[in-house]
Amino acid sequence: MHRDSERHKLFSRRAMMLAGGKATLLSALIGRMYYLQVIESDRYKTLADENRINLRLLAPRRGRIVDRFGVPIADNQQNYRVLLISENTRDIEYTLDILGRIISISPAERRRTVRDVKRNRSFIPVTIRENLDWEDVSRIEVNAPDLPGILIDVGQSRSYAYGADTAHVIGYVAAVSAKELTGDPLLELPGFRIGKAGVEKIHDTDLRGASGSSQVEVNAFGRVIRELSRSEGQPGAEIALTLDLGLQQMITRRLEGESASVVVLDVQTGDVLATVSTPGYDPNAFNRGLKTEEWKDLISNPMAPLINKSIAGRYSPGSTFKMAVLLAALEKGVIAPANKIFCRGYTELGDSRFHCWKKHGHGAVDAKEAITQSCDVYFYEIAKRTGIDRIATMANRLGLGVKSGIDLPGEKAGVIPTIAWKRRELDAPWHQGETLHAGIGQGYVQITPLQLAVMTAQLANGGVQITPRLTKLVGGYKTADASKSGDEKKSLGISSAHIRLVQEAMSEVVNNPVYGTAKRSRITEPGMEMAGKTGTVQVRRITKSERDVGVIKNQDLPWKERDHALFVGYAPVADPRYAVAVVVEHGGGGSSVAAPIAHDILLEAQLRNSADDGIAPSPNLKPLSGLDKIPEQADG
């Protein structure tokens, strides 16, 4: 009995302990369920929603770029592209193989896709091909069940309707490189483009806008069921330029076949009405992706189509530099306007002889006659009296050899040499013979066409400083004026009498029927007359034997050895509004090649009233004047 009683008590204790343990576990389970289902219900509901709801970033519409009259230069068009989301496919190579049977995929596109998949997070779509036609899109959609991770997206693609006509100004957009990723998720979107050159680059942030978002419901396989909400974001700002597109097109046609540059400025405001560099390139090719052959053709072209010669081409200015030399000499007082210097065709310095372009000389010439006839001997002499440092100071004041401040990337400063410059850059002393070379705009002197246009505009407006401006409006708001108005206008500090002398001389260059070096290119329409200065720049040394026999005609030389042709001018003479600089690489004589081009441009600008802000003139191009067929005439 005693043993049975002990066994019963032991069994009862164990049963109670087991029941207590079960009760404890059940209580913990109930508590945990209460915690998860009641207290943490909101959190887990959110997590569940995140598993079935995807938030996708939407690229904003890139802002348009228009000319001064509102004509679109850069716009957007629909772009169908095929994307790959790597997390939705088990085998990327297999998926690409299947897709390659439906549409053509080049080896380069396949390599790029695999590379981009490795670089990006698995849920980020990667672009395989863009600019698909409707047949390709249809074939992909029909075969969608066999293409896990593949989807069709409709985006925006940049379009440049005027191609090479505006390429160097507008620039282009292209895919974001690894170095350009900043952590901004917008830059990681498939097919997203950013500005790489020109206005597209300098205003990229304004043009880009702000991203939108889309909430979509997906099933367990990641397929989109429906869109729950959508926010389009903020479109990019519209950029209005100071360019007159019609004038820009006319100049491009006028320079066809040449390696050349033209800049046209409003002399009062500094507005860039046209800036052309030829040959150009198709910016649409950079947007879609250049082929290897296309890239090789561009970089091997001796006319350098990728360089914006207007702001990055550096040239000896030749005789177009003589106005700066004359103003420096007049300011220093080494010569008076009426003082004459005798030109016998050359001058001597030590045992060296410096020749004038006119073999037998110009005789006695004063300041105005020296500009009109472009007498080299006159400028050799006044340069020697003035000194290179004072010439450089005046040239810089006129805008030569310094960056202009234009709102375009890639501008070069050029070179206006000084004694200190040569010591610093070449570790050599300055020689007086180099001053004589600089006196006619050769030797070490290098400038850009834009700088020549700025100098000409400031001479035309009476010596008022301007800064060239390309951007007129950003998002409908005016930009800070590049030049001052009224009492805020800043003078260059050059004597008004000296400026008037140079203006009169530049008018004589074109309008003097006997001695003007550009007399055949004068504008005969009343009230539209132009003034200017020719320049012809040697790119090779003429030997003594060649000089004794006679100068070889440019057309008989290889293209690379021909002279550069330059002309700067403004119009109308009575009330200047337009300034132009023309540089034709290896074009020949400034009077026979560059001056006729300037004639056509300044006449067209006046007929179009390009500087006005009214309704855009007719885009139809006017017939060219035919002055490009004028036979060569001598000039400086």
Q: How far is CA 181 from CA 175, 184, 566, in A?
A: 11, 7, 43
At residue 260, φ and ψ (nearest 5 deg) are: -155, 170
Scan for tokens 């590379």, then name that residue: 115
Q: How far is CA 363 from CA 145, 356, 370, 404, 534, in A?
A: 90, 11, 10, 38, 20
Does the active-site annotation cover 319? Answer: yes
Burial class (CB in 10 A: 0-12, 13-18, 19+), 107: exposed
Closest CA to 380 of 437, 421, 447, 317: 437
Q: Can you tell me whether residue 165 is helix, strand or coil?
A: helix
Quick one: tokens of 457?
Answer: 């505009």
Q: Are 283 and 209 in contact (CB under 8 A)?
A: no
- From the candidates 86, 211, 316, 319, which is the catalytic residue? 319
Q: Report how far residue 552's alpha carbon sits from residue 483's, in angstroms, rounded to the nearest whole number.
A: 45
Terminal Cα-to-Cα distance of the chain (whole angstroms): 141
Quick one: tokens of 426?
Answer: 């070449």
Q: Report how far residue 497's alpha carbon sits from residue 367's, in angstroms, rounded to the nearest whole number.
A: 13
CA angle 261, 499, 582 (to 5 degrees): 10
CA angle 508, 511, 515 (to 5 degrees): 60
The residues facing 264 across adjacent strands are 274, 580
* Residue 58, H or E segment: strand 53-58
- CB contact burial 45-60 (16+ within 10 A = b; e otherwise): eeeeeeeeeeeebbbb
Q: Are 344 and 377 in contact (CB under 8 A)?
A: yes
Provide the residue type at 608 as one letter.
R
What long-range pairs does 95-103 form, CB within 8 A, spacing at least 24? 95/147, 95/148, 95/149, 95/150, 96/128, 98/143, 98/146, 98/147, 99/128, 99/140, 99/147, 99/150, 102/136, 102/139, 102/140, 102/143, 102/147, 103/129, 103/132, 103/136, 103/139, 103/140
Quick one: tokens of 564?
Answer: 């550069």
Provide the residue type at 81 as one letter.
R
Residues 488, 492, 493, 499: is their CA dihedral positive or negative? negative
Provide the residue type at 586 as one letter.
H
- What lies within 8 Å, CB to CB, of 31 at 6+ separation is none
At residue 73, φ and ψ (nearest 5 deg) are: -105, -40
Q: Report how far residue 298's alpha carbon sits from residue 255's, in angstroms, rounded to the nearest whole number.
A: 19
Q: Report how far residue 288's alpha carbon sits from residue 130's, in angstroms, rounded to the nearest whole number.
A: 8
Catalytic annotation, residues:
319
